Structure 1
Amino acid sequence: MNKNQLAEQLKYCSPNIIYVVTWNNLLKKVFCPFRVQTRNDIGEYYKGEIVWVEQVKVTPELKTIFVINGDAYYYYHFDIII
């Protein structure tokens, strides 16, 4: 994906909102900051720790990133708490 294609996709994204499909197939709009629980030890956080996501970003490869205390982590290290 080149820079122009990425810019086109990101026009429709917000760093303050994420859409989540719940266990019972409901679509929920979750606003930052929201809580997540770590799935494993990552950075300065231990497995099972609950932290707050400040922003949601996307890499050039379109992978979701959570910004927590100013540091960026891939989304798959966390479970969203609704």
Structure 2
Amino acid sequence: MAKYCDANSILLVNGMGHLRKLYCPFRIRCISNAGTFKQGMYLWVEEVATNSKDELFYWILGKPYLYTHFEIKANF
């Protein structure tokens, strides 16, 4: 699970409740089509943000995309 921390990082929480801070740029994989990005593509997140509904967005190539279209592979 990813949680907003600041514009340059997010907090990841694993199944055991351990935290890890991940700094931009970080790599993600597209799990559903988003804009011109196709499922399976690997991309780099330049910045992170939230909106008034506290939804997490990843800035990729200068545009915001809802985080639910992507996954982060991290082991800790």
Aligning the two structures, in what range does the TM-score lie when normalised by the shorter sequence? 0.7 to 0.9
Within the candidate set 55, 58, 61, 1:63 is matched to 55
Please give the residue correspondences for 1:1-82 in structure 2 after superposition, counting only pairs within 5 Å.
13-82=5-74
- Between Structure 1 and Structure 2, which shows a larger proportion of strand residues? 2
Q: How many aligned residue pairs are there?
A: 70
RMSD of Structure 2 on Structure 1 (CA): 1.3
Larger radius of gyration: 1
Question: TM-score scaled to structure 2, two decimals?
Answer: 0.83
Give the Å deviation of 1:27: 1.1
Percent of paired sites with the same residue: 33
1:63 is displaced (CA, Å) by 0.6
Structure 1 runs not aligned, ≥5 long: 1-12
TM superposition shift of 1:45: 0.8
Structure 1 distance, partners of 2:62, 2:54, is 20
Shift of 1:24: 4.7
How far has the Cα of 1:26 moved from its partner?
Answer: 2.4
Can you give the 5+ residue segments of structure 2 that lack an aligned partner in the other structure? none
TM-score (norm 1): 0.78
Secondary structure of residue in 1 paired with 2:22: strand
Q: Which runs of 4+ in 1 moved over 3 A?
A: none
Which structure: greater helix fraction? Answer: 1
